[in-house]
Structure 1
Amino acid sequence: MNHIDLGQYRPNAKGALIPLSTIPEITLLRDDVICKIVQKAKLMNAELKVLKQELFNDITAFVELSAEKYDTKLGGVKGNTTLVSFDGRFKVQLANHDNLVFDERLQAAKSLIDDCLREWTADSRPEIKALIDNAFAVDKEGKISLGRVFNLRSLKIEDAKWLRAMTAISEAVTIVGSKSYVRIYERNEQTQKYEVISLDIAGV
């Protein structure tokens, strides 16, 4: 039984083994460069995961130590924490960010707002309705912008039906997940402003 020397073949995108002798040299070089880049990226990704966990552990341990030793709490809203070095040169922030979405109650709010518009805009310009519709428009992923909808709550309108709609908007917000971030800053001695020490390859 003959055995295939896999070293003389390379699998293509469909998994078929293609003889190296039939693959153009530039294609092989491109494949080698890509594989080396991906390997380096995976190693860095693994190191960043370890670093992230270490940073979280360091901050959490210090906050717990401070609370125990000095009977104080460094964590702010939703556990957000800011630590500044003695000389003020460095700043470390632990921030928690909730992922918010609207549930079905948003449709009830939209219905109430539509009722208001029918009453208010019978003799008004259609641009007003267009502005409201834009607030409820979905993006490419089919999601409604929280920011645009929340902006409606800043309008100074005292109509009872409108206020019920604003309450429905507030109650329609649901937390579907939460992410924690660590941001590290160094103060620029010239501008005296804190600048992020980027751990993102695009920001380096």
Structure 2
Amino acid sequence: MTEQTPIANTAIPDGYRLNDKGHLIPLDKIKEIDKLRDETVINLVGQALSLQIQMRAVKEQFFAEFHNFVELSAQEYDTHIGGKKGNVSLMSFDGKYKVQIAIQDNLVFDERLQVAKSLIDECLREWTADSNDNIKAIIDNAFAVDKEGKINIRRVLSLRSLNITDDKWQKAMTAISDATQVISSKEYMRFYERDEYGKYQQISLDFANL
């Protein structure tokens, strides 16, 4: 049997449908259940794409309204707030509702992280000479890479919270801070409603969590 050549992205002739390999298949050769499945998927995805467009428009409107209010509030003090207005919360008068904008930075480490690791290794060699290797395992875990070869930034940065006053360790923590670079930032808007216990519950706009 000769394999069909995939059809170019042109108009599909009447009486045919394009399959997943790019081949034209006569309608009378396609099972009714397969036709119905195709129509169902196309219909659902079409509605999802339309909803996505609406959500993008609403998102832009929400952010604009939020930022406009923050600027309006600043005018009472004859000032102007420049740049991104992240980590700001607006509350309803009765405290039942809260709208929050937070900025999440996308961080990476530059070559100075290797300097920090070298300094930390020197500390560990001195500290663990006469003790077990548990602390070394903790440090190694902080610098471990995932399947994509990336270091968990949060674990590395958490080392700075350790109350260690050793000069060499402090130099390593400074190197970690200096090695941390912000390559991009993203704004998130979250909505909250206070429950009967006084705790704020996030209003989910994630389709999967509704």
Q: TM-score range by the shorter chain?
A: 0.7 to 0.9
Residue 111 (str. 1) matches residue 121 (str. 2): no
Query: Aligned partners of 2:65 and 2:148: how far apart in 1?
Result: 37
1:162 maps to a residue whose letter is W
Residue 197 (str. 1) matches residue 179 (str. 2): no
Query: Aligned partners of 2:135 and 2:144: how far apart in 1?
Result: 15
Query: Which residue does the alignment assign to 1:51?
Result: 58
Give the alignment's TM-score, normalised by structure 1: 0.87
Query: Which residue does the alignment assign to 1:89?
Result: 96
Query: Which residue does the alignment assign to 1:23?
Result: 30
Query: Aligned partners of 2:104 and 2:56: how far apart in 1?
Result: 18
Q: Runs of 5+ in structure 2 lacking a partner? A: 1-10
Q: Is the 8 A contact 2:86 2:187 kept in 1?
A: no
Q: Is the 8 A contact 1:139 1:145 kept in 2?
A: yes
Q: Secondary structure at the match of 2:49?
A: helix
Deviation for aligned residue 1:23: 2.2
Query: Aligned partners of 2:97 and 2:162: how far apart in 1?
Result: 40
Deviation for aligned residue 1:47: 0.8
1:37 corresponds, among 44, 49, 69, to 44
Query: Aligned partners of 1:123 and 1:191: how far apart in 2?
Result: 52
Q: Is the 8 A contact 2:12 2:18 kept in 1?
A: no
Q: Is the 8 A contact 1:186 1:194 kept in 2?
A: yes
Q: Percent identity?
A: 57
Query: Which residue does the alignment assign to 2:7?
Result: none
Query: Which residue does the alignment assign to 2:18?
Result: 11
Query: Which residue does the alignment assign to 1:66?
Result: 73
Deviation for aligned residue 1:29: 2.0
Deviation for aligned residue 1:57: 0.7
Tell me the number of residue pairs that the alignment of Structure 1 and Structure 2 aligns. 199
Query: Aligned partners of 1:114 and 1:165: how far apart in 2?
Result: 10
Q: Is the 8 A contact 1:79 1:96 kept in 2?
A: yes
1:134 corresponds, among 119, 141, 153, to 141
Q: Which runs of 4+ in 1 moved over 3 A?
A: 69-75
Query: Which residue does the alignment assign to 1:156?
Result: 163
2:144 maps to a residue whose letter is A
Deviation for aligned residue 1:109: 0.7
- The answer to which of 115-124 and 40-49 deviates more is 115-124
Q: Runs of 5+ in structure 1 lacking a partner? A: none
Q: Is the 8 A contact 1:66 1:73 kept in 2?
A: no
Query: Aligned partners of 1:27 and 1:142: how far apart in 2?
Result: 42
